[in-house]
Amino acid sequence: MDKVALVTGSSSGIGFETALELGRNGYHTYATMRDISKGSKILEIAKKENLKIKVIELDVNDDQSIKNAVKKILDENKRLDLLVNNAGYFLVGCLEDMTEKDLKDQFETNFFGVVRIIQSVLPTMRNQKSGTIVNVSSVAGRIGFPVTPGYISSKFALEGLSESMRYELAPFGIKTIIIEPGVVKTNLFTTLKKATKADPAYKDITQKVLSGLIMMSQMGTQPQEVASTIVKAVSSDNPLPRYPVGNDAAMFLEAKKVKTDIEFENYIKKELFS
């Protein structure tokens, strides 16, 4: 029996590549996205390679959309083996530039969207006494950077949620995995959202950091590498709690581990501001 997977945010980037990689590894994969008109490319590849991939609508901010998508998957398969929470977006702006709504919207998608989907699939996984939940976080879920405090806070929250879930869900045979990419070569920076305000006081630091991140993204990790890491992790009988992906992620995390807080602050300033 093919294992059944649900991947959110599959119209491009990490979600797109993960859905394909899971299909190539024998999963009956549901590639979900808000706008299913963006699913033609993945369906074309799936048809060409004879992969069991379906595109269905799922908006992580819409309870009814989630309910409909999960119901469709369960009606067709009676089970769900893997959930990959990938949907999210990148909010740019210093804290004073953000309205309360900016920050709430960021969390609504990046954090509460994950919570809603997990809660919708857990009864099925508990009854099966099996399942794997993959939360695509970021190296920014463990390291703070300037100019993106909304995004970073949402990823820190996701890391804490994931750690807690591991304890709660392990007795039911459900595995929880965190994926921590560094800067990935996707359209994240072309589809980013900017904070509502743009206080001139933060213009210089915003431009410097954003330019640095965009430059890093041009040499960033390919989304295929993240997808391969996800498949490797879910294929393990005893997956690790976390999987950093990319040389930059490894570099930042190692520096964080060996340096004092002040040394690390200076290191980040040098990497992002110079």
Mark whether 151 is an active-site residue.
yes
* Inter-CA distances, 53 with 8, 12, 44, 253, Å: 13, 15, 10, 35
Q: In sequence order, what DSSP letters do the residues of 19-71 get, joined into one string?
A: HHHHHHTT-EEEEEES-GGGGHHHHHHHHHHT--EEEEE--TT-HHHHHHHHH
Q: Tell me the sheet residues that pair with 33.
A: 57
- 200 CB contacts (<8 Å, ≥6 apart)? none
Catalytic residue among 27, 30, 89, 151: 151
Q: Which helix (H) or strand (E) holds 130?
A: none
Asked if residue 255 lies in contact with residue 272, where contact means CB atoms within 8 angstroms, the answer is: no
Residues forming the active site:
151
